[in-house]
Structure 1
Amino acid sequence: MESLSFSYDSPKRGGVDITLSLSPEELAALGPDAQDLADWLDTAVWTLAMLRTGLNHRPTAYTDATPTKSQWHIAVRDLYHLISRIEGIRDAAVRHHQADGGSINDLVRAMDCAKSTAQSRRNKILGSSPSHWENWAEVDGGPENRPPKATPSRKTN
């Protein structure tokens, strides 16, 4: 079963509906973070369309199609929330990749960059303690009282 689907000619807005489907286990692991992340991803798409067209394609009864200071405020706020969490998720994934025997060549393909760049990025992550948002991704975020899970070694070997 695919977790991402696109429904064109959406009856809701006439464009496309993008649906992210979560399993019961994924939903249990994410808890309320699922709704926040989906909301912030939606803001990212909305903001990108405004940047590319100069128009807000989601006007309301209180706004017209010209983006307002308030809408840009929402965009900045939500994108900062999203980016910090995405960086934490990414850093945890790099740490797990290393712990599970992932090679630099694997990272080169994943990051689509030069070998030296991939190695530098990995070394930066492995050479430091997990950030607040990396801890959020693995330990601190999500439903309370979830059972502890095994995490990869934090060593930089």
Structure 2
Amino acid sequence: MSNHTPNPTYRHGTDASRGGVDITISLTPAEAAALGHEASMLADWFDSALWALGILRTGRNHRAEDGPAVTSQTLYTVINDLDHRLLPRIQGVRDAAIRQHHELGGSIGELALAMDVKKSTAQSRRNAVLDGRDRPSTWERWATQGGPLNGQPSIED
């Protein structure tokens, strides 16, 4: 199944702002409105994930102004952006998608195929989401309703 969009697009080498690669993700007007200010925060955290991969694979921080050494502060930023900010939101999106897949009559077999796991694993993961059937998690609610600037209650970062 495809999302039928030309996303993402890339600019390489001298055309890229840092000389490596620029990645552009395009949103429709409806998607942009649904995400609001959160789109830029999410993009920043996705950038942190790619930055972290570069650091971990090269052992160097090529974005540092004071030299390419990796420091504990560099990794603090990576860990904070990924563990504290991005991962809970990604899990909320996944859980909301699993819940809606179930509500729309999606089968365990389809879910297993989408997850690339055995049916028993897909069943277990779906059950973990649906055990709170009437109580989606904070981050699942964030995924479906947005954050405080979208008129929703504040979710602590």
User: Do Structure 1 and Structure 2 share a fold, with TM-score over 0.5?
Assistant: yes
Given that 1:28 and 1:143 are in contact with CA atoms closer than 8 Å, whether structure 2 keeps it comes out as no
SS of residue in 1 equivalent to 2:150: coil
Question: For residues 50-89 of structure 1, what are the structure 2 equivalents within 5 Å?
Answer: 50-60=55-65, 63-80=66-83, 81-89=85-93
Given that 1:33 and 1:142 are in contact with CA atoms closer than 8 Å, whether structure 2 keeps it comes out as no
Deviation, 1:140, is 4.2
| Bigger shift: residues 35-44 or 13-22 | 13-22
Partner of 2:155: none
Q: What TM-score does the superposition give when structure 1 sets the normalisation length?
A: 0.85
Question: For residues 91-130 of structure 1, what are the structure 2 equivalents within 5 Å?
Answer: 91-128=95-132, 129-130=135-136
Deviation, 1:4, is 1.3
Give a deviation string over 1:67-86, Cα, whole Å, max 9, x none: 11211111011002000000
Residue 140 of structure 2, aligned match among 134, 138, 155: 134
The separation in 2 between residues aligned to 1:53 and 1:8, in whole angstroms, is 19
What is the root-mean-square deviation of aligned Cα atoms in Å?
A: 1.6
1:140–1:23 distance in 2 versus 1, CA, 3 Å: closer
The percent identity for this pair of structures is 48
Partner of 1:149: none
Question: For residues 15-54 of structure 1, what are the structure 2 equivalents within 5 Å?
Answer: 15-54=20-59
Q: Which runs of 5+ in 1 are unaligned?
A: 147-157
Given that 2:35 and 2:146 are in contact with CA atoms closer than 8 Å, whether structure 1 keeps it comes out as no
Give a deviation string over 1:126-155, Cα, whole Å, max 9, x none: 111211100111124274349xxxxxxxxx
Q: Which runs of 5+ in 2 are unaligned?
A: 153-157
Q: What TM-score does the superposition give when structure 2 sets the normalisation length?
A: 0.85
| Structure ranking higher on relative contact order (CA contacts 8 Å, 6+ apart) | 1
The separation in 1 between residues aligned to 2:82 and 2:48, in whole angstroms, is 7
